Amino acid sequence: MDIIKLMWGVGIIPVIVIDREEQAVPLAKALVEGGLPVLEVTFRTEAAAGAITAIRREVPEATVGAGTILTIEQLTAARRAGAVFGVAPGFDPIVVNEARVRQLPFCPGVSTASELSQALTAGCRFVKFFPAEAAGGVKMIKNLLGAFRFTGVRFMPTGGVSAANVADYLSLPEVACCGGTWVVPKAALAAGDYEEIRRLAAEAVAIVRRCR
C-alpha cells in the first residue's frame, strides 16, 4: 500500500477518539458517506481495538488505521484488530522498526528538524507534523522544507487543525493530508448525532476540493 497516495487521495483524516465500541460502525458510515473514508482510530481508549475490528468487518468502504501508537503492545493490538496503517504523535525508532518488521505502513510524529532528520534516516518519508499549530503551523513546515524538500518528505499536519485553517496547510504540495478531531466532535459523538458528523465530513471534503 502506498500510504502517501492513499492520504493525498482524501486530504483529510478524521482522528477518532472512541469511548464505546458500538459507536464505531455508525461513525465510520457517517464519515464514509460524508466523503472521508480513511480513518485513524486512536489507541487512547479501551474501545480502540474493538472499534477497528468492527469497522473492518462492517464498513468495507472505510480504510482504517490506528493512531497514538506509543508501544509495541499497541502496535501488536492494532495489527491484530486489522489496522492497515499506524500513526504516532512522536518518533520512536523502536516502534518504527517494529512496524517495518510487521509490514505495517507507519507515520511517526515530528515537530523539529532533528526529529524529521531521524525519521528520514529510519526510512519514514511520510510524517505527522504534531502538534501542528502549537509547533509553528504552516510557517514551520515551510521553514523545514527549506532544508528538507529534496528528501521528498510529505507531511500530515495534525493538532489544532480545523475547518478554519486546513486550507492553509493543504495549499502546500508537500502536505499529503491533514488530520484532526474537528470532524468528529466529542459532543456530537456522545449524542449519537451522526448527521452532524456527516455534515462536517462533507464540509471538509469541499475544502479539500477547493485546494486541489
Q: Where do contacts with ligand 3PG occur on this chain (CB under 6 A)?
A: 15, 68, 89, 158-161, 179-182
Task: Return the number of the residue (103 or 106) whose C-beta is nearest ligand 3PG.
Answer: 106
The beta strand positions in 57-144, using DSSP E, are 63-67, 86-87, 106-107, 109-110, 126-129
The residues that are catalytic are 40, 128
Strands across the sheet with 126-129, in order?
109-110, 126-129, 154-157
Nearest approach in angstroms of CB 89 to ligand 3PG is 5
CA distance 37 to 203: 14
Task: Return the number of the residue (121 or 166) whose C-beta is nearest ligand 3PG.
Answer: 166
Task: Return the number of the residue (15 or 55) whose C-beta is nearest ligand 3PG.
Answer: 15
Task: Return the number of the residue (111 or 181) whose C-beta is nearest ligand 3PG.
Answer: 181
Partners of 38 in beta bridges: 63
Nearest approach in angstroms of CB 156 to ligand 3PG is 9
Q: If residue 149 lies in a helix (H) or strand (E), which one and from where to where?
A: none
Task: Choose among 34, 62, 25: nearest CA to 204.
Answer: 34
Nearest approach in angstroms of CB 174 to ligand 3PG is 19
Nearest approach in angstroms of CB 146 to ligand 3PG is 25
Q: Output the 3-class SS for 90-107.
A: CCCHHHHHHHHHCCCCEE
